[in-house]
Structure 1
Amino acid sequence: MQFALPPRKSPHPLPSARSTRLPYHRRKQLKTVAVAAIAIVTILYLLSYFTSSNSTSAVASSASTSGVVIVTVLDRKVLSESFIKKIVTNREDYAKRHGYTNFFASTSDYEDAIGDSPRSWATLPAVRHALAQNPSSKYFFHLSAHALIMNPTKSLKSHLLDRSKLESLMMKDVPVVPPDSIIKTFSHLKEKDVDLIVTRDGEDLSPGSFILKNGDFARYFLDLWFDPLFRSYGFAKAETHGLDHIIQWHPTVLARTALVPQRVLNAYSKDSPGAGADGTYKDGDLVLRFPGCEAKGGDCDELDPYYMLWQRKAKNG
C-alpha cells in the first residue's frame, strides 16, 4: 500500500499575504488593556474634578477624620475679600476649639453643575463634595456664608448631637412647613433614626443651617434635592422650596429628619424678616444668621457689630 507524501517545501517559498487578524488571546489582552486605560483615565478625571480648585476658590479641607465638617460656600463674585476673611476667621476659630474640620468652597466651582439655576443651589454639590473629600467624618454642618457662630465655647455635641439632647429638642407631630402644613413630623421618631437636622422659620424650612449625617441616606438625599427637575421647576425660593416639597411629600426623607427649634441652630438677626416664633437671636445662641443679607447677595453691614461682639467673646473664651 502506498501513502501519499506531503508536497516538498520549496527552499524559497512564495510570499503570501500576512493575516490581518490577531490571535484571539492577543486581541483579548489588548481589549483588557484598553478597558483598564479608560478606567484609569476616568478615575483620574473624577479625582481632578473633586480635588481641584480654581483661582476663585477658598481653601478646602483635605480628607479628615474629625467628627464634624463645617461646610461654608462663598460666592467670591459678590462677596468682598474683607467680608470673606471675617467668615473664615469665625469658622476657623470654632473648628480649632472643638477639633472640627472646615470645608470652604466657592460657588464658582459648581457653575457647570448648577447651569442656569440660581447660584444658591451650589450649596448641594458643595456638601456632596465635602462628603467625598471627608468620608470618615460623621457629621456635615452646612452654614450660610451670611452667618456667624456666636457661641464659640459650645460644641455641637453638647448643644445638639448628644443622644439625650437631640431627643429632648426634636419637634414631633408639628407641621413641617409653618404655619399649618397638613404634613407633620413623625411622633415616633427616635434619635437613632435621624440623618438630617434642620429648622424652620416663620414661612419655610430653613436650609441656610442644617446638619447631615454621613452615610447612604446623605448621598441619596443630596442627589434627590439637586435633581434637575427641582432646579428647573422655578420655585420662588429655589432650594428652600425644593426642600419644603421633598420633606413633605417624600416619607423616606421625612422619616430621617429631625426638626428642632429655630434658635437651636439658626437664629435670625433682629433686622431680618421671616423669623419664626422665638426665632430671633438672643445672647448665648450658637448661630446668628442674616437672611436679609442673603437676599441681597452681597456683603452684610448688619453683620459688623455682631462680628465685633463675637471677637470679644472669642478673646475672653
Structure 2
Amino acid sequence: MKNLETNVIKPLLEQRADPWIYKHTDGCYYFTASVPEYDRIELRRSATIAGLSEAKPVVVWRKYSEGPLSANIWAPEIHFVAGKWYIYFAAARTTETNEGLFDHRMFVLENDAANPLEGEWVEKGQLRTEWESFALDATSFEHRGVRYLVWAQKDPDIVGNSNLYISEMSSPWTLQGKQVMITTPQYDWEIIGFRVNEGAAVLKANGRIFISFSVSATDFNYCMGLLTADEDADLLDPQSWSKSKSPVLSTDEDIALYGPGHNSFTVSEDGTQHILVFHARNYKEIEGDPLYDPNRHTFVRVLKWHEDGTPDFAGSVLSND
C-alpha cells in the first residue's frame, strides 16, 4: 500500500463521488461511484486498488428517458449476497417542472454472472420502506447470520432532510420487521446548509460495529460522523448506538482537502489492513450548486486506529508513512 500513501492529497480517481470499493473472494477489487453526469452506473475491476485508476470502466446500467429512474443516478454500491451480485442506487424522476429531481428512491439490480462486468443486470425494483419519501444511500451488511440494510430517508414527521435507519432483510431487495432510526441530525456540524445524515458505511472490527455517515451541505462543510455499537448489542435498538459528538473527518485546508465524506471501506491486497475510501474536493470555492461541480475525487488511505480501538479517520488522511 505504500504507493497509495506517498501523496496525501492525490486522488485515486478524479471526478468520482460517493466511491465504493469491494474486494471479492476472486481476489479482485470492484469499484463504482457517482459519475458527474448522474446518468449511468459504471463498474471497474482490478487485482489491486491502485490498478482501479487505470481499469476500463464498463457501463452496466443507464437511466431511462422518463419515469422514476430518469434523473440523478446517485451513489451506487455493489454487494455479493448468496452467490449473486447486487447494486443498490438512488434515482429520481425528470418532469417538465423538475420538481422531482431531488425526490429520490432506492433501487436494486441483480446479476448472477461470476464477473459482474459481464452477464445481465436485472432490475429488482424499488427497495420499499415504511414511508414513500425521499430515500437514498442504501448499504447492506451481514452480522451473525442476519442481513441488515442501513439507509438515509426523510421521515415526513421529522424536521430535516434525512435520517439514518436500519432494518433486517428477507432478501437483498426486501426489508422485514421493524425499521429503526439510529441517528438524526442534532449537532451544529450536522445541520450546515441541510439537516442531513446520509452515506452510511459499515465496518466490523475490534468487537464493535462502526457506521460512518456524512452530514451537512455537499460543499466544504460536508463531513463525517461515526456511530458505534457493541457486536453483542441488539442492532435494532437505537440505544445500542452511540454517536460521535464531533466530526471524525472534515475539511483540512492545510492539505487542500475540502468536504470529505460519503466513504466506504475495503481491505488491503494482503488482507491485513482496513482501507478508508472517501471523496473530497481540492478547492473550497464552488460556483453554483455543489452537486453540479464535478470535482469530487476518490481518495484511499490505510485506515489508522486510536488506542481505544476506534478508527482514526483524520489520522488516516494525514498519514504519510
Same fold (TM over 0.5): no
Query: TM-score if structure 1 supplies the norm length?
Result: 0.27
- Which has more radius of gyration? 1
Query: TM-score if structure 2 supplies the norm length?
Result: 0.27
Q: Which has more helix, going by share of residues? A: 1
Q: Which has more strand, going by share of residues? A: 2
